[in-house]
Amino acid sequence: MTSNNNPKNSEVINKQGSNTKEKVVQPKIGTILTNPIMSGGVIGTRTSANKLYSAGSTRGHLAKQANVGFQEIMRLVNDAFLIKNDLAQLFYSLNSIMVNKLQVNFTAMGLYNKHSNCVNIKLIDKIGSTYTTKTIMTDENNPVVKAVKTKKIVTTQDTGFLSSWYQTHASTAIIPMMAIDECMGVYIVGNYHISATIEFCQLIANTLGLFAQTKNLMDLVETNSDTDSLTGLANHKHLQEELHEQIQSAENKGTVLSVLIVDVANISRINRDLGHAKGDEVIKTVAQKIKQNIRNTDFAGRYGGDEIAVIMPNTSSDEAKYIAEYLSYVISCVYVDDVGPIKVSMGISTYPKSSESQEKLLVLAEQAMYISKGKSQELGNCKVITSEDYNFWDDEALKCFAEVLTKKHAQIGVQFEDELINKFHNEQIISNSHLLDVVTSLANTIDAKDTYTKGHSTFVSRYSEALAKAIGLPEAEVERIRLGALLHDIGKIGIPENVLRKPTMLTDEEWEIMKQHPVIGAEKVLAPNESLRDLIPMVKYHHEHWDGSGYPYGLKGEEIPLSARIVAIADAYHALVSDRPYRKGLGVEKACEILKLGANVQWDKELVRQFVIIAPSLSTSV
């Protein structure tokens, strides 16, 4: 404690125009520890030193008059703080103790509101009547203001500051409710014998101050845990919790539910060129417009940095699209200085049609939003996209899907490749053309993972098809080889990118990992899908060599399926004519010479001969 506790620092404040005096009372150093309420008597063992019960003392007189032991009072006070978790309820309980046990005339509690710069006071008298008043902090002569500002106890005989409806003359103490060094408000006690209990009242006041501060912090944490500080909407956590509840409700009631994700365009550019404050202004404006224009049953929250999600119960995809288009129009009408009209992209998914999984519902809505972003840039205005508007296996859709899952991997633990294969296994193939679309998109996606072999699968498929036709295979077998060649490297989906994309020579350990991709492709990707099992030989054995030196099983000669031997030559040829980080692509003649050198060693000699004949007629643009 500081010198402020020295009685010499107490000041006498004379109220202008009145003969009454307000005295700032400071407890002596260590008063809490030496407080007769807390030591001696009933609580302590040194009863002879307890002045509270000594004859002739004011405190002794008060104790005898109240006919109560302070041990009981402290127990009651302690129980009140333990049981009550609401500040108002706690104040009522303490008032009952103070009035009934210590015979005070009234107690009041005033909480300081920084925003309105006032102290809101509630008073309860001995018969339980309550009164409220407000003290403005600009009233320098008010004892409440003095107590708050000086953080010192102020006593007065004039209670006019509490309003004229109460007695105007009572010994009253205005005690700051301190929490560390912050004044949370005041605890006011009206008692003709206040000097006998001032230290105890200060203990109550400071404990109330700590309680109020803790409650404020808890409320702040609760508010922050549910509300986004920038937009005032629900934060990501609260949004997820609400969606979980809404999905459960829709499942129980057999109703639909739509999720809209809104992305604010060009936030990165705005932040870079105009500053983050301007970017925040744009996001806040969009949030405000969404909040003002959604239905009462809808729920909006901040989904990401520049993304806002709206949960729409009992709303079909078409209905959600109508609402989204209206929101898009409202937002586009807003003009922000230095930015111009606000532009957004919007994506929608619907439970249960799009997905019954909460995470997938959000992923699909975000995928639709990314597609909307591309379409909106082309059209110049917002194109609202639903998950029903696009083919999942479309190249653009797959690219957007990869973008979403790559971003979300750390959050939901789902990798793009795993989700893609899962989707692949669950795809209901309805026709040969549908199968070709799915396989082509899947192959292109895997090629995109290996930046050095972009388009590789398409070329290998084309070359394999040409060789199969050249040796006179039936059309059905040619088609099977074309599809198998498209997927020959599908197993690379399970190879780590640091191995797959390594520009230099692989170590022995890395090479062992790379050699697993034929088995991964055959067993993990193709085997679970019945319609694709006849493609397994090409995927599994296209790295086997004619002389038995290949992998994964060391097959030799005609042990290697014909289709796999065809794909092996097409695969090698495209690798030779393609640019690589370590060399430029070879010409057709040089590539064919290398194939001839490897005939009967790495490749089937007869198939090499046939391929060399047709190679010049094949497109070599890569």
Fold classification of 415-622 is Hypothetical protein af1432 (1.10.3210)
**CATH level 3 topology of 229-413:** Alpha-Beta Plaits (3.30.70)
Direct distance between the N- and C-terminal alpha carbons of the chain, in angstroms, rounded to an integer = 81
Q: Sign (positive/negative) of CA torsion 599, 600, 601, 602?
A: positive
pTM of the model: 0.48
3-state secondary structure (DSSP) of residue 380:
coil
What is the tens place of the pLDDT at every residue in 484-517?
Answer: 998 898 888 777 777 777 777 788 888 888 888 8
Q: What is the pLDDT of residue 214?
A: 86
Q: Are strands 385-386 and 344-351 parallel, antiparallel or unpaired?
A: parallel
Residues 6+ apart with CB under 8 A from 92: 124
Give domain limits for the chain. 3-223, 229-413, 415-622
Predicted pLDDT at 7: 37
| Residues facing residue 119 across a β-bridge | 112, 135
| Pairing of β 299-302 and β 307-313 | antiparallel
pLDDT tens-place string over residues 465-474: 999 999 999 9
- Nearest by Cα to 233 from 285, 271, 270: 285
Average the pLDDT over each of 358-362, 545-549, 600-604 and give the range with the smallest value: 358-362
Residues 6+ apart with CB under 8 A from 15: 21, 22, 141, 156, 158
Query: Which range has the top average pLDDT, 35-49, 188-202, 248-262?
Result: 248-262
What's the pLDDT at 34? 33
Task: Tell me the C-alpha distance between 509 and 506, whole Å.
Answer: 8
Q: How confident is the model at residue 253 (pLDDT cuts 50, 70, 90)?
A: very high
The predicted model gives 164-180 an average pLDDT of 77
pLDDT digits (tens, 9 = 90+) for 101-154: 888 888 999 999 887 788 988 888 877 777 778 888 988 889 999 999 999 999
**Token output for 295:** 């239905």
Among 49-53, 345-349, 589-593, which is the least confidently predicted range? Answer: 49-53
Across the chain, how many H-helices and E-strands are there?
23, 15
Q: 3-class SS at 439?
A: helix
Q: For residue 552, is the peptide bond before it cis, meaning its omega torsion is within 30 degrees of 0?
A: yes
Segment 359-390, tens digit of pLDDT:
889 888 988 888 888 877 766 677 898 888 87
Cα-Cα-Cα-Cα torsion 376, 381, 386, 388, nearest 10 degrees, comes to -70
Rounded CA-CA distance 344/313 in Å is 23
Strand, helix or coil at 417? Answer: helix
Common-topology check for domains 229-413 and 415-622: no
Report the CATH fold assignment for 3-223. Beta-Lactamase (3.30.450)
